[in-house]
Amino acid sequence: MNKKTQKRLLGIASIIVVAVIWQIVAEYVVGQSFILPSVSDVLGAFVELLESGTFLTDTMVSLEHFGIGLIVALLLGIPIGVLMGWFRVADFLLDPIIEILRPIPPLAWIPFAIIWFGLTSQAAGFVIFAGAFFPILTATYSAFRGIPKVYVEAGKVLGCDTSFEVIRYVALPAAVPSIVSGIRTAMGVGWMCLVAAEMFGVSTYGLGYQLWHNYYLHQMPEVVAYMLILGFLGLFIDRIFRNYVDQRLLRWHAGEVA
């Protein structure tokens, strides 16, 4: 048995053990579904969600919200991070503004998201953007500030005559691993902001909204079902991103060439 198969089997075994303990505690220790739904209650709620037909719609709406916020964060976070990390003037100009805005919790922007965009997908996307933007910006900035000087000098010797060429052919490839790490962090923060945005009324659809709605109805098995769906969906998105990055952008880490 190779290590990869062993790792998978151990992961499955740990999930089964946790599910068994959860079922026993919920059924025989707590005994109240409202306080702690059992595994069987949650599975039953999940089946009902699939049969209701709203599950797919809420999932697609949440993915739309997440996509809007993350794409805008990428389009702004990486270029601004490059400017601040590579050009001192841009760093001096933008750093005070960034450092004032960065500590503000993303959820604090929810009132303005509702005022500016109403109860729309753009409002939810804005809240996700507020959470995902700064991890991407910070990772890009740190990566470009940490480019070894010898890389830059080697690039100039090999024909990179302008700053754009040095960034394109030297700095950016060297910074990709750190930027990817920042994007993964941003995806996690953005996913948490997605749930909060939908729960607090930025959207009237989505997985987060349904989670909060079922709580108001005291349907706790459905609440846990949506929590698990959010967890597994977030894990699935992260795995897809990691596999794509490892195969396309970081092949050289494993000694592979195109």
Together in a domain, 69 and 192: yes
**What is the C-alpha separation between 127 and 112, in angstroms, rounded?**
9
* pLDDT tens per residue, range 186-201: 999 999 888 888 877 6
Q: What's the sign of the alpha-carbon dihedral 216, 218, 219, 221?
A: positive
pLDDT at 250: 62
CATH of the domain at 120: 1.10.3720.10
Is 122 a member of any domain? yes
HEC letters along 18-52: HHHHHHHHHHHHHCCCCCCCCHHHHHHHHHHHHHH
Together in a domain, 46 and 149: yes
**Distances in Å between the alpha carbon of 93 and those of 6, 64, 76, 84?**
52, 34, 16, 9
For residue 233, give the nearest of 61, 105, 75 by alpha carbon: 61
pTM attached to this predicted model: 0.83
List, run by run, the mean pLDDT of 10-residue segments along the chain (258 residues).
77 87 85 83 86 84 91 94 89 91 90 86 90 94 85 75 76 85 91 84 80 87 90 89 75 52
Is 88 a member of any domain? yes
Together in a domain, 15 and 42: no
**Which residues have a Cβ under 8 Å from the Cβ of 117 and sit 6 or more positions away?**
123, 126
Q: Find the distance separating the first CA and the last CA of the chain, reported in whole Å.
A: 31
User: How many independent structural domains does the chain possess?
Assistant: 2
Question: Of all helices (H) and strands (E), which one includes residue 66?
Answer: helix 54-86
Is 109 a member of any domain? yes
Q: How many CB atoms lie within 10 A of CB 105?
A: 11
pLDDT at 254: 52
pLDDT at 251: 61
% pLDDT > 70, the chain: 94
Is 238 a member of any domain? yes
Together in a domain, 165 and 126: yes
Within a 13 Å sphere around the CA of 192, how many CA atoms are in the beta-carbon half?
11
Together in a domain, 5 and 103: no
Together in a domain, 27 and 42: no
Together in a domain, 65 and 114: yes
Range of the domain at 114: 38-249
Together in a domain, 9 and 137: no
Together in a domain, 134 and 21: no
Is 256 a member of any domain? no
**What is the C-alpha separation between 136 and 104, in angstroms, rounded?**
16
Is 151 a member of any domain? yes
CB 101 within 8 A of CB 80: no
Report the amino acid identity of residue 69: G
Together in a domain, 111 and 212: yes
